[in-house]
Structure 1
Amino acid sequence: MRKFFGYLLSPVFYLLFGIVITVFHPVQWLCLKLGGYQTHKKSVDILNGCLLALYYVLGNRVKFINKQQLPTDRPILFVANHQSMYDIPPLIFFLRKHHGKFISKIELAKGIPSISFNLRHGGAANIDRKDPKQSIAEILKLANNMKAKNWSAFIFPEGTRAKTGKVKPFNVGGIATILKKVPNVLVVPIAINDSWKMVRYGTFPLNTFIHMSWEVLAPIEPYGFNAEEVVAQAEARIREKIS
């Protein structure tokens, strides 16, 4: 039955999704040119709020749980499991006050209205997985901005999406670089549950009437731990929360 409704509602979702990202592309450009970083960021926050609202067109529900008192006066590295592209709008929208930037594939930085523009101009680290030197340089640039501008960052250390929701082993690389270059960073794990079910059948039809959740877990103070230990703690806490 969910798949049947997916065939009916997915075209509506994609039509609205396309309208939103098309409209916000020139909006972002204007905001960046006329108002600079802060105004551009507000447009990106609103964009992701709109994209998040579209989940409800499919009858899907989003539950964002954040019982942590996270600081805003120091950079945060948000470490999350990765289940689908639909993981991202809730992270940006609900954690918008932390100025989080993504470490993402360079392929996403071109060809997608609004989304590619933000990746190119919003401070993300767009890495080429085939070019280790370029990847390290991008992450270092992000780390320097985190330290200088008090930005935060999101990273999916599994590397690729977990298509069945099962958590894959976490990679240390990008996290280790940020821990080394941003000594006052706070590591905050986030457990994402059931967003993979939205794309259970692929890109079409999208699944319907799914209850998805994002839960911000207790922060990890990395001081006194090496990168491997910090990543192991984050991975263990996330695994405990994945249903």
Structure 2
Amino acid sequence: MKRIIGHILSPLHHIGFFFFLIVFQPIQWLCYKLGGYKAHKVSVDALNFCLMISYYLVLDIISFKNEQNLPTDRPIIFVANHQSMYDIPPLIYFLRDYHAKFISKIELTKNIPSISFNLKYGGGANIDRSDKKQSLGEIMKLGQRMKDNNWSTVIFPEGTRSKNGKMKEFQIGGIATILKKAPNALIVPIAIENSWKMVEYGLLWLNSFIPLKFTVLTPIEPAGKDILELVKEAENTIKAIAERNLS
């Protein structure tokens, strides 16, 4: 039933999703040109709120649980598992108070309405995976911006999306690089559940009645901890939530 209804409603979702991308392209441009970073960020937050509305057009539900008292006066590295592209709009919107930035493939900075513009001018890191020097430089620049502005970043240390909800081993590279530039950054794990079920049959034909769950977990102070120990602690904490309902 989830699959049948999802297939019926998927075109409605796609129309809504791309409608918002097209509408917010000129809005972002105007906000950035007339009001700079602050106005542009408001438009990006509004865009991602609207993109989340399109999830409901296919009868999928989002819950974001954050019971942590997180600081806004220091950088934060949000560490999350990754299951689909539908992870990203809720993370941007619900973490808006922390100015969450992403590390993205440089290919995404071209020809995608709204998304490409935000990636170019939003303050994140756009990396060329075939060029290690460029990638490292971009991530270090992001770390410096985080330190200077008390921004945050969202990192998916698995390196790729999980197609069945089972997490892959976390890599330390991105986290270690950012900590070199922003050593006072707080590590905050986020567990994502069920996003993979939404795209179980591909991006074209979605599932309905999927509860997408985001849970912000207890922060980890990195001071005095080995980077391998730190990342493994975050991985295990996330896995306990993200894989709890997998068979």
> TM over 0.5: same fold?
yes
| C-alpha distance after superposition, 1:48-90 (max 9, x if no partner) | 0000111111111111000000000001000000000000011
Give 1:116 shift.
0.9
- Is 1:108 equivalent to 2:115 in the alignment? no
User: Residue 177 of structure 1 corresponds to which residue in structure 2?
Assistant: 177
What's 2:90 paired with? Answer: 90
Structure 1 residue 149 displacement after superposition: 1.1
Are the aligned partners of 1:82 and 1:162 in contact in 2 as well (CA < 8 Å)? Answer: yes
Q: Which 4+ stretches in 1 moved above 2 angstroms?
A: none
AA aligned opposite 1:187: I
Structure 2: how far apart are the matches of 1:106 and 1:169? 24
Question: In the alignment, does 2:33 pair up with 1:71?
Answer: no
Give the Å deviation of 1:3: 1.5
1:105 deviation in Å? Answer: 1.3
CA separation in 2, counterparts of 1:110 and 1:227?
34
Identify the residue that residue 22 of structure 2 maps to in structure 1. Answer: 22
* Mapped partners of 1:204, 1:32: distance in 2: 32
**Count of aligned residue pairs for this structure pair:** 243
Unaligned stretches of 5+ in structure 2?
none
1:184-195 equivalences under 5 Å are: 184-195=184-195
Match of 1:223 in 2: 223
Bigger shift: 31-40 or 221-230? 221-230
Cα displacement (A) at 1:115: 0.6
Distance in 1, matches of 2:110 and 2:169, equals: 29
Tell me the amino acid that sits aligned with residue 19 of structure 2.
Answer: I
CA RMSD of aligned residues (A): 0.7
Scaled by the length of structure 2, the TM-score of the pair is 0.97
- The amino acid that maps onto 1:61 is I
* Mapped pair 1:134 → 2:137: no
Query: Is 2:16 aligned against 1:37?
Result: no
* Runs of 5+ unmatched residues, structure 1: none
Q: The residue matched to 1:146 in structure 2 has which SS?
A: helix
Structure 2 residue identity aligned to 1:236? N
Q: Is 2:178 aligned against 1:196? A: no
CA distance in 2 between counterparts of 1:107 and 1:82 reads: 19
Q: Report the residue type matching 2:143 in the other structure.
A: A
Paired residues of 1:179 and 1:227 also in contact (CA < 8 A): no
Aligned to 2:52: 52
1:154-196, CA deviations, whole angstroms, 9 ceiling, x for partnerless residues? 1100000001010000010010011121111000000000000
Q: Percent identity?
A: 60
Q: CA contact under 8 A between 1:123 and 1:142: conserved in structure 2?
A: yes
Worse-superposed segment, 101-110 or 113-122: 101-110
Name the structure 1 match of 2:156. Answer: 156
Letter in 1 for 2:171: N
SS in 2 for 1:20: helix
| Counterpart code for 2:78 | F
3-state DSSP class of the match of 1:87? helix
Find out whether 1:10 has 2:10 as its counterpart. Answer: yes
Post-superposition CA distance 1:185-238 (Å, at most 9, x none): 000000000000010000121111111100000000000012111101100100
Render the CA deviation track for 1:18-45: whole Å, top value 9, x for unaligned.
1100000010000000000000000000
Distance (Å, rounded) in 1 between the aligned partners of 2:206 and 2:241: 25
Q: For 1:53 and 1:17, how far apart are their aligned partners in 2? A: 8
TM-score using structure 1 length: 0.99
Q: 1:127–1:134: 8 Å Cα contact kept in structure 2? A: yes
1:174 is aligned with what amino acid? Answer: G
